[in-house]
Amino acid sequence: MADRLNGYRILILETREEAQFSKLLAEQGAEVVQCPMFTIQDATDPAPVEAWIRRAIDKPFDDLMLMTGEGLRRIMKLARERGLDQALVAALAKSRKFTRGPKPGKALREIGLEQQQMTEKPTTEGVIEMLAQLELGGRRLGLQLYPDKDHSALISAITAQGAEVDTVLPYVYDPKAADASIVNAIDDMAEGRIDAIALTNLGQVRRLLEAAKAHGSEARLRAGLERTLIASVGPAVSGELAAHGLRTDVSPVEDHYFMRPLISAIAAALVEKRPKVAD
């Protein structure tokens, strides 16, 4: 099974866990074509993030909602720089902790903490559905946000339950840094040099389309996707694809929205349906 992707070229757009994803694919024999969608950077102004950390320490939140693992890691990075990391971990230990999907739970375990509950669906709608089942009236909820997303519906849903929401946005995206790589990837797909594209978050779909539009390559992108196997890690990504009139060819089975199951789904689909890239 170690060589099941031998001879196939897989395009990945992952940034936060790109090295791990690439390694897992290479272990299966794939030739990995890497194309980061953006550069992740700390918040331009760290002051609001530091203030949030100090509020969390001074008066621990009743509840903590983590939307991304990257967010918690960036918060802890700044806390360490300010000498507040141990106090923050102690404070967060007192909160009920909820996560959008498995990645924030992994970040929690890295600092010795555990989530109390994870969303059934790793989407904002899944978060709203999960929190709607809880008693939040009169409670303080710390909410970690992520860039390029309108979170107003989520915040409104929480405050409508009578909770006080304290938000933090610990990192930003720099999309321009990757534009040249994205255009090259579009050309590779259009010329048939890519067997499959693996999408692991919905922001990648948006960035791919935005960059194509900015560089006059929309038609070329869609033509390339027509001849390339499109693999989605889960329902959030598949929903974003559908919203733009794009299909999902393969996805992991329900409740297994992780890298390894995604790779298995890609391998099964390619071996069954696609010829290998010629040497």
* Residue at a domain's end among 130, 151, 169: 169
Classify the C-alpha dihedral 19-172-117-254 as positive or negative: negative
* Residue at a domain's end among 169, 198, 224: 169
* Residue at a domain's end among 107, 135, 169: 169
Same domain, 77 and 141: yes
Rounded-to-integer distance, Cα 197 and Cα 261, Å? 15
Give residue 279's pLDDT band: very low, low, confident or very high (50, 70, 90). Answer: very low
Same domain, 185 and 257: yes
Q: How far is Cα of residue 104 from the mean position of the Cα atoms in its chain?
A: 10
Contact 143, 157 (CB under 8 A): no
Contact 86, 111 (CB under 8 A): no
The DSSP-derived string for 105-120 is HHHHHHTT---SEE-S
Rounded-to-integer distance, Cα 182 and Cα 174, Å? 14
Convert the pLDDT of each residue in 90-113 to its tens digit: 999 999 999 998 889 999 999 999
pLDDT of residue 91: 98
Same domain, 189 and 145: no
Task: Quote the longest CA-to-CA distance of the chain.
Answer: 64
Same domain, 24 and 64: no
Rounded-to-integer distance, Cα 99 and Cα 120, Å? 10
Kindly state whether residue 213 falls inside one of the protein's structural domains. yes
Q: What is the mean pLDDT of residues 179-207?
A: 92
Structural domain harbouring 140: 44-169
Rounded-to-integer distance, Cα 273 and Cα 42, Å? 42
- pLDDT, averaged across the chain: 91
Give residue 255's pLDDT band: very low, low, confident or very high (50, 70, 90). Answer: low
Q: How many domains does the chain have?
A: 2
Percent of the chain whose pLDDT exceeds 70: 94
Convert the pLDDT of each residue in 1-34 to its tens digit: 567 889 999 999 866 566 778 888 898 899 999 9
* pTM for the full predicted model: 0.66
Q: Is the pLDDT of residue 275 over 60?
A: no
Convert the pLDDT of each residue in 196-249 to its tens digit: 999 988 888 998 999 999 999 999 999 999 999 999 998 989 999 999 999 999
* Residue 76's CATH number: 3.40.50.10090
pLDDT of residue 122: 80
